Amino acid sequence: MKNILVTGGAGFIGSHVVRHFVNRYPDYRITNLDALTYAGNLENLRDIENKPNYRFVRADITDAPAMNELFQTESFDTVIHLAAESHVDRSIANPTAFVMTNVLGTVNLLNAARAAWDGAFENKLFYHISTDEVYGALGTEGIFTEKTPYDPHSPYSASKASSDHFVRAYHDTYGLPTVISNCSNNYGPYQFPEKLIPLVINNISHRKPLPVYGKGENVRDWLWVIDHAEAIDVILHKGEIGETYNIGGNNEWKNIDVVKLLCSIMDRKLGRNEGESAERITYVTDRAGHDLRYAIDSSKLQNELGWSPSIQFEEGLEKTVDWYLQNREWLERVTSGEYQTYYDEMYAS
Ligand code: NAD
Ligand code: TYD
């Protein structure tokens, strides 16, 4: 029996984490706290919203009094903290929002947990979800381990690095029972189409240009989002307090190769001529400070806690494309309104 607060559970990864815990652990109580920003969508959780062990609270983690009150009244024993501003390009356009949610919001949650738990830390856990981007950028060689020094370059990764430091500081200073995991790029159903893979799927569907930054040579290590949710489960139950675990797919791809693979999968599934979609690949101005390569060494998690990724990238991408093609209304709804304005501004030049 656990009483778990998941923050950011209406977002991409958070909704998979909430679904995983609600379905797998019927006797755990799962509270999903989310502000429902542009990236939060309760439709992502329609299939589990009426389960007796699930409930939703709309609140903003930048609101310290609201966080304190919730922790005082709810007796949470575990926090899985995912709520964040998560998109690098938005962080370049508006860094302050990232400081507010990712840094201040995290500190508010740490304070609320510390006050509510009041030194009675047995069977308590504050689990902070972070990214491999805190480690900076690799050249063509090398791999991030848990010991790689932090070297963030974007306002997004700087804000996540800062939040990681606060989590460690609360462990080291106040003895708060914390654990952190740093994961590589996720892909799969319910990802907001501002991120590379769903954006390209959406644009291929609509026969729109496929924007590739710079020369498309940047490398990301892609992980199936449900494998991330599994890893979070394993770390939550078996991870050691105060430790950090890297999570990755051991699956490095150049952006241009991801886009080409998506084009060929979708041409086949949509009955188009092979090569039609790839003609719409358009090289656009590179992202400022664009990290060249990320690659994660997750051997600590694999060897010590026994987790490993379950599916190959090609299979995961097929499943992802199938999901987006079968859920066109979801895509239509999230690409209307605020997102359309953002898209027009981002890709105007
Ligand atoms: P997302 O943008 O899809 O979802 C973020 C969620 O947080 C949304 O539901 C949003 O409404 C909510 N939120 C934002 N600001 C909030 C606030 N002030 N108060 C309460 N809720 C708020 O993000 P994601 O891709 O699912 O990422 C989730 C977490 O995982 C983030 O912490 C991110 O840094 C981390 N992460 C993401 C990836 C990735 O590839 N997407 C990889 C590694 C780590
Ligand atoms: P993204 O999905 O934004 O994730 P992150 O920046 O956190 O890695 O981008 C993945 C890669 O794809 C990154 O190198 C930037 C690139 N990219 C494009 O080439 N075109 C696009 O339209 C987007 C959104 C990203």
User: Residues of the chain with pLDDT > 70: what percent?
Assistant: 99
- The pTM for the full model equals 0.97
Could you report the per-residue pLDDT of 173-220, keeping only the tens digit for each?
999 999 999 999 999 999 999 999 999 999 999 999 999 999 999 999
* Residue 135: active-site member: no
Say which ligand is closest to the CA of 153. Answer: 2
Mean pLDDT of 114-127: 98
Q: Show Cβ contacts of residue 136 under 8 Å, excluding neighbours closer than 6 positions.
A: 150, 151, 152, 153, 157, 291
What's the pLDDT band for 346 if we cut at 50, 70, 90?
Answer: confident
In this structure, the number of other CB atoms found within 10 A of the CB of residue 310 comes to 11
276 CA distance to ligand 1 middle (Å):
34
Query: What's the pLDDT at 251?
Result: 97
Tell me which DSSP letter residue 205 carries: H
The full set of domain ranges for the chain reads 3-186+225-247
49 CA distance to ligand 2 middle (Å):
31
Residue 343 pLDDT > 90: no
Residue 338 pLDDT > 80: no
Q: Which of 212, 213, 258, 293 to mutate to test the pocket of ligand 2 (most atoms within 8 A of CB)?
A: 213
Is the beta carbon of 255 within 6 A of some atom in ligand 2? Answer: yes
What CA–CA distances, in Å, run from 90 to 87, 287, 339?
5, 11, 11
Of 137, 139, 161, residue with least CA distance to 289: 137
CA-CA distance, 201 to 210, in Å (whole number)? 9
* Residue 132: active-site member: yes
Is the beta carbon of 204 within 6 A of some atom in ligand 2? Answer: no
Q: Which of 156, 170, 190, 294 is catalytic?
A: 156
Mean pLDDT of 103-129: 98
Is residue 281 within 8 A of residue 210, CB to CB? The reply is yes
161 CA distance to ligand 1 middle (Å):
15
* DSSP 3-state percent helix, strand, coil across the chain (nearest 5): 45, 15, 35
What's the pLDDT band for 348 if we cut at 50, 70, 90?
Answer: confident
Amino acid at 223: L
Ligand 1 pocket: which residues have CB below 6 Å? 8, 10-14, 34-37, 39-40, 60-62, 82-86, 101, 105, 129, 131, 160, 183, 185-186, 192
Residue 22, H or E segment: helix 12-24
Q: Which fold has domain 3-186+225-247?
A: Rossmann fold (3.40.50)
Give strand pairing partners of 57: 33
Query: What's the pLDDT at 340?
Result: 72
Of 288, 289, 245, residue with least CA distance to 144: 245
Is the beta carbon of 211 within 6 A of some atom in ligand 2? Answer: yes
263 CA distance to ligand 2 middle (Å):
16
